[in-house]
Amino acid sequence: MPVTTRTKKSSARRIGPRQWDDWSAHLASRPRPLAPWGRISASRRWPLSWSLAAGLDSEPARGLLRSLERWLRADRLQAAEVARVLEPWLSSVEQRTVDVELALECLGWSYLLPRLATVLPAAPWCEVWDGLLGLTAEQDHDSPPGHAPLVRQLLGGELAWTLADQFPEVPRCRALGRAARRRLSEGVRELLADNGLPHCQHVELVRPLLGCWTRCRALVREDGTTCFDAKASQRYERFVQQALQLSRQNGGRVFSANGTCRQDAELLDAALALVGRDAEQATADQLLPWRASRRKANAEPVNWPQSSVYSEAAQLASLRPSWLRGAAHLVVGHHEGAVRTELNLGSTTVWSGAWPVQLRVGAELLVPHAWEEVCWYSDHDVDYLELETSWSGAWKLQRQILLARKDQFLWLADAVAGPAVEALEYRSVLPLASGVEFRPEAETCEGALGQRRRLARVLPVALPEWRAAAAGNALEAAAGGLLLRRQTTARGLYAPLFIDFSSHRQKWPLTWRQLTVGEKLQIQSPDVAVGYRIQVGGDQWLFYRSLAAPGNRTLLGQNVRHEFYSARFDTEGKADELLALDPADPA
């Protein structure tokens, strides 16, 4: 007789919303999950508002999120009140653009979803459930330009991770949690450089992304699993530090028209609470105004993080002499054919925005192609970044940005070189911030940048010192900001600006001279090499730039073989080198 084995079927019932009576009873009987903001020690308000602080919001979205927050904090829900808000929201979802606002609303409903089972019938509850699960699918949504990376992280990452946290007993949600962890880790690696800097084109998303990842990082599973793998977790920690790098002294974000608000304070404090390292805490105490009471005394030793940072992959640099309050802060980003820059002196933003350049060669107006970094250097004296772009007709431009840490000045210069002698017209504009104005001197070519007080003096050192001799060249206020105009007939030109932001030098007398550059007893033309001496009170500096192939040249008693050279004269008249650069070796 054949022998058969009978398999005993499991008596455990599958829990889920399709068995509504059992499911709603289960949700009502289980302990209420701790609200996500309840796991973030630094947060006192609704953490979804961290993303709304970036100007990505509208009043209807704020109103809905306020209602969701109020219901989550309430002891009891009123079914009629919830239904009045939920029904029109459900009817409009399919017609709406999948954007940041919709993603945040979905997160709010996901927080409330366990409690909704006690006041809603099966049909509307399951409609919300199915809609949220559908939006977590990995797909390309029709999101507004520039916001797509954030929308993907909010829906495919955070919403999926939150549903897995709220409904760990559902197998589909457990699988969703594994997918969310993968997507969030991939997002961190995709959107951040190794050192944690975001890409230049995503600077506006720094705080919304930080908010998304910080909320996720706070939702830790019972077994200790977080939303990131090991490498992504390290990069998130570096991102917290870089979020401080990309903050102004008033707590606001760089390249922002807005100041700081309460949401910014809570977001940064929550992220710092998760990272918890002394160096970042001390940096935040120095930089952020709401942490003034925790600011450490200078006598207490602190291992400060590096104050200047650059990433070729991110195409972004942040230059600071130090983390101490009142220090200068210059941010430079480049993406494709545009360069963006922002200068902050203490709590004042001097300029912020695109830094365009135009070059007319003969009758042709040239437009720059993509910018690329050719040199980054940082030491105790200077931070230096050099970018390069090419134009049609074998013309190229190299943009030099030098921040002197101790000497407290900026050297901004464009070096243009081409194949033949042409009539050249050059224009570049620094985008002055609202309320900052350029105040030119009456008889000389320099001027000052000021608001209620003088902030910095600007010297166009390639121009003659006296305005009467400038002849078609000028440094002047324009509609877009501070305009530098140069024109010449040559195979190249150099357009530098010396910006002195030392507060104690603002009233000292100043002068500058264009120097004679010699090679083999022959005076070199300005499209071969140029040199300048600048004096402010008792401080003096020397600058040299070769526009042709470098050679053994002399100026002001100095012998130079470099492509670029800058030095400070000491009290005995000796040149102390700040930076000397040689041309890159040919490939």
Mean pLDDT by groups of 10 residues along the chain of 587 residues: 44 68 88 69 72 60 83 87 92 88 92 90 93 84 76 95 92 94 96 96 93 92 88 96 94 82 86 85 89 68 85 96 92 94 95 95 88 95 96 89 97 96 96 96 95 94 91 91 96 97 95 94 94 96 95 91 95 91 67
Residues 46 and 162 occupy one common structural domain: yes
Residues 73 and 179 occupy one common structural domain: yes
Is residue 64 in a domain?
A: yes
CA 120 to chain CA mean position, Å: 44
Residues 253 and 321 occupy one common structural domain: no
Token readout for 550 is: 């470098």
Alpha helices in 315-403 (DSSP H): none
- DSSP code for 371: -
Is residue 543 in a domain?
A: no
Q: Rounded to the nearest 5°, which phi and psi values hold at 379? A: -145, -165
Is residue 453 in a domain?
A: yes
Token readout for 172 is: 């589909």
The pLDDT value recorded for residue 187 is 96
Backbone dihedral region for residue 471 (phi beyond 0: left; psi -120 to 50: alpha; all else: beta): left
Residues 266 and 342 occupy one common structural domain: no
Indicate whether this model's pTM tops 0.85.
yes
Examine the fold and report which residue of 468, 485, 503 is the final residue of a domain before the chain moves on: 503
Query: What is the enclosing helix (H) or strand (E) of 419?
Result: strand 409-430
Q: What is the C-alpha separation between 505 and 130, in angstroms, rounded?
A: 66
The pLDDT value recorded for residue 483 is 97
Alpha helices in 246-385 (DSSP H): 262-275, 278-287
Q: What is the C-alpha separation between 401 and 417, in angstroms, rounded?
A: 18
The pLDDT value recorded for residue 145 is 67
Query: What is the enclosing helix (H) or strand (E) of 210?
Result: helix 206-218
How far is residue 118 from each of residues 18, 77, 125, 412, measured CA to CA in Å?
Answer: 15, 9, 10, 64
Residues 166 and 126 occupy one common structural domain: yes
Q: What is the C-alpha separation between 216 and 210, in angstroms, rounded?
A: 10
Q: What is the C-alpha separation between 338 and 576, in angstroms, rounded?
A: 35
Is residue 110 in a domain?
A: yes
Q: Rounded to the nearest 5°, which phi and psi values hold at 285? A: -60, -40
Q: Which residue has the tokens 């430079």?
A: 332
Q: Note down the domain range covering 168.
A: 20-286
The pLDDT value recorded for residue 299 is 42
Could you tell me the sign of the dihedral formed by the alpha carbons of 534, 372, 433, 444, in that order?
Answer: positive
In degrees to the nearest 10, what's the CA dihedral of 402, 405, 407, 411?
10
How far is residue 192 from each of residues 200, 202, 312, 433, measured CA to CA in Å?
Answer: 10, 9, 11, 28
Examine the fold and report which residue of 503, 536, 555 is the final residue of a domain before the chain moves on: 503
Residues 410 and 492 occupy one common structural domain: yes
Cβ proximity of 417 and 494 under 8 Å: no
Q: What is the C-alpha separation between 563 and 106, in angstroms, rounded?
A: 57
Is residue 469 in a domain?
A: yes
Helix (H, G, I), strand (E, B) or coil at 396: strand
The pLDDT value recorded for residue 296 is 61
Cβ proximity of 354 and 429 under 8 Å: no
Helix (H, G, I), strand (E, B) or coil at 272: helix
CA 564 to chain CA mean position, Å: 29
Examine the fold and report which residue of 286, 301, 317 is the final residue of a domain before the chain moves on: 286
Q: Which residue has the tokens 């209602």?
A: 67
Q: What is the C-alpha separation between 534 and 39, in angstroms, rounded?
A: 57
Q: Write the CATH number for 351.
A: 2.70.98.70
Is residue 557 in a domain?
A: no
Cβ-Cβ contacts under 8 Å for 255 (sequence gap 6 or more): 203, 204, 331, 340, 342, 352, 353
Q: Rounded to the nearest 5°, which phi and psi values hold at 282? A: -65, -40
CA 414 to chain CA mean position, Å: 24
How far is residue 376 from each of residues 16, 381, 402, 557, measured CA to CA in Å?
Answer: 57, 14, 10, 29
Cβ proximity of 566 and 411 under 8 Å: yes
Residues 251 and 143 occupy one common structural domain: yes
Beta-bridge mates of residue 475: 484
The pLDDT value recorded for residue 220 is 87
Residues 332 and 370 occupy one common structural domain: yes
Residues 266 and 122 occupy one common structural domain: yes
Is residue 524 in a domain?
A: no
Residues 361 and 217 occupy one common structural domain: no
Residues 265 and 370 occupy one common structural domain: no
Looking at the structure of the chain, the number of domains it has is 2
Q: Rounded to the nearest 5°, which phi and psi values hold at 227? A: -75, -5
Q: What is the C-alpha separation between 433 and 397, in angstroms, rounded?
A: 26
Residues 31 and 135 occupy one common structural domain: yes
Token readout for 94 is: 């399919």
Q: Which residue has the tokens 């998130």?
A: 236
Type of residue at 316 = L
Is residue 548 in a domain?
A: no
